[in-house]
Structure 1
């Protein structure tokens, strides 16, 4: 078991992410089109393997943009095992092959956790820590558009899967007036699979904790949603 001698957030690196404004994307586009546009953005890797006894480490990256009314997010995962048992909103998808996006808006000490298994099943909560989570209503979560792709590999890993997401800002029901243009946020991105044959925990920004716990917002990185005039859609 990996342990940390000093879980001080100030002793750990804090990544910073600039999220581009994708001016030509809107909710009228198909997820196939959004997928292609996101592929033009630079990938961000989940480099930190946490709380693992072995060296097994899936390869995971994400691409992210926005158009003020929606966040567009795509994960690409290569791993040896797949699990997609859960198929109802707010099921414990973290036990399956799962990717996660945590976001704290501006100075709010609470944050949202958005979790998706490789079948596209979603769970969303809001609160201040791991034990203070309030599930969002199913009809709100259902507004997140998802598309998944899966195929077998012949290389270092057995499977590759991708999930493309269109997340409307209306998901953030505790911030009804949120405006993404120029918005500062605290974020982290994760990959896990608690009930897989090789459990693992990957993070974009390093988490300093002796026990598995993604819900430590003091270890989130920083993100700035660029305003329209600050960014252009990739060619």
Structure 2
């Protein structure tokens, strides 16, 4: 099954425009717990769209604990409350990993596997726009609801010659983790069939297409 990524019909000149555009899009659930399912499962949904020049992502997370320590790009944000987007464009054996904590701080790199990664420069990651919000779930004082909206311009895809997203096919996965939380967890959109937790698994990416 291919996840079709819609092209936004309205202009996006601000994050407010983007939030309005997201209102009409379907949510996709992160529902796979490839290794161990925690007793209090986080609930995670995401939306994704594009406008040829940027990929837009919106993650909505409900979980019992939120950790947000890192504010400098390319810090180990995967140890905080973290959402991630890994993508490999058609014809490329390499893939990008974009990882964001709940503050919008980004860790990103490019390469063929977990060990051979080329970091994307912090000044390039500064081109990514994010908007975050954090609230308590109404009626559940122990549970938090946080949202991260991301505008990822194609200029950040520094190892790819992409001038327009429409018509492109790719392989990707979407994730939620938190390595240093009291109860660590690992959640994915497309399931992963390895024995140990590892999101750097291109063979388990799912198919996506930019409309």
The TM-score with structure 1 as length reference comes to 0.86
8 A Cα contact 2:27 2:47, kept in partner? yes
Per the alignment, residue 178 of structure 2 pairs with 193
Query: Map of 1:77-116 to 2, 5 A cutoff?
Result: 77-116=61-100
Match of 2:47 among 63, 85, 97: 63
CA positional deviation for 1:25: 2.6
Question: Of Structure 1 and Structure 2, which has the larger fraction of its residues in strand?
Answer: 2
Per the alignment, residue 72 of structure 1 pairs with 56
Taking a change above 3 Å as real, the CA distance of residues 40 and 99 of structure 1, as seen in their structure-2 partners, is: same
Match of 2:150 among 156, 160, 165: 165
Q: Which moved more, 1:47-56 or 1:66-75?
A: 47-56
1:174 aligns to 2:159 (yes or no)? yes
Separation of aligned partners in 2, 1:178 and 1:33: 23
Q: Which moved more, 1:132-141 or 1:44-53?
A: 44-53
8 A Cα contact 1:125 1:135, kept in partner? yes
Per the alignment, residue 19 of structure 1 pairs with 5
Match of 1:47 among 21, 31, 34: 31
CA positional deviation for 1:54: 3.6
CA positional deviation for 1:107: 1.6
Match of 1:119 among 80, 103, 106: 103
Separation of aligned partners in 2, 1:22 and 1:155: 35
Give structure 1 regions of 4+ aligned residues with deviation exceeding 6 angstroms.
none
Per the alignment, residue 5 of structure 1 pairs with none
Taking a change above 3 Å as real, the CA distance of residues 43 and 156 of structure 1, as seen in their structure-2 partners, is: farther
CA positional deviation for 1:157: 6.0
Which stretches in structure 2 are left out of the alignment for 5+ residues?
A: none
Rg (Cα) greater in structure: 1
Which stretches in structure 1 are left out of the alignment for 5+ residues?
A: 1-14, 227-235
CA positional deviation for 1:56: 3.0
**What's the CA shift string for 1:145-176, capped at 9, x where partnerless?**
00000001233961000000111001111113
The TM-score with structure 2 as length reference comes to 0.95
Secondary structure of the equivalent of 1:48? Answer: coil
8 A Cα contact 1:49 1:57, kept in partner? no
Separation of aligned partners in 2, 1:133 and 1:156: 40
Separation of aligned partners in 1, 2:41 and 2:16: 28
8 A Cα contact 1:185 1:223, kept in partner? yes
Secondary structure of the equivalent of 2:162? Answer: coil
Per the alignment, residue 130 of structure 2 pairs with 146
